[in-house]
Chains A and B, each alone.
Chain A
Amino acid sequence: NAGVTQTPKFQVLKTGQSMTLQCAQDMNHNSMYWYRQDPGMGLRLIYYSASEGTTDKGEVPNGYNVSRLNKREFSLRLESAAPSQTSVYFCASRSILSGNTIYFGEGSWLTVV
């Protein structure tokens, strides 16, 4: 099982550039999430999608947009990258059927210079 797959794994951007982080899950989960992880701050929720066709803001949505393309895919877009967006980004999906378990991807390391 692939589980949750994120691309790219590493990316360096210049300030002001745009990019999209792709995420796909093959577990038929309804809910998908984008988190960022910074040292000492755990994971902070950027956006989530409770089901196909819906998206909602999390704790730190500013500077980001998301698209729930279909049930499998949930992308995160940075329209104009800033150094403060240097972070590790994790996509995740949730299974209500197995005790609300959240499955995470392996992470995308983004550096904005």
Chain B
Amino acid sequence: TQLLEQSPQFLSIQEGENLTVYCNSSSVFSSLQWYRQEPGEGPVLLVTVVTGGEVKKLKRLTFQFGDARKDSSLHITAAQPGDTGLYLCAGRNNAGNMLTFGGGTRLMVKP
């Protein structure tokens, strides 16, 4: 089983602050995805990173895939209350048939 560890598990910050969430593994993934989940709903895909070292930006969110394709980070600039939610990383195995999720980072942004 390929394990993904996310840190921190919980994060409470003030509006306007920056933050980084980490997703680490000892395993190599063919791709890695980040999801955001709101209470009472299923996760929604934010981004997929495929190439080692790849950086993708989605407005105030910056996603990076590690050079060795074992880890990833999500950086949010000037967080807003609307960013509140559970952020999940998920790595796809080389066979492409299984997606392993990390334990999630629960973010709360206070106005």
Contact = CB atoms under 8 A, between A and B. Distances in A.
Interface string B89-105: 01010001111111110
A58 B98 contact: yes
Contacts of B101: 35, 42-44
Given A48-B98, A58-B98, A100-B31, A41 B42 contact: no
B92 A42 contact: no
Contacts of A50: 97
A90 interface: yes
Interface in B34-69: 40-45, 48
A104 interface: yes
Nearest to A6: B42
Interface residues of A, number: 24
B20 interface: no
A41 B103 contact: yes
A92 B42 CA distance: 9
Given A45-B99, A48-B98, A107 B9 contact: no
Interface of B: 1, 4, 6, 9, 31, 33, 40-45, 48, 88, 90, 92, 96-104
21 contacts: A33-B99, A35-B101, A42-B102, A45-B98, A45-B99, A48-B97, A50-B97, A56-B97, A58-B98, A59-B1, A90-B42, A99-B48, A100-B31, A100-B96, A101-B45, A104-B42, A104-B43, A104-B44, A105-B42, A106-B40, A107-B42
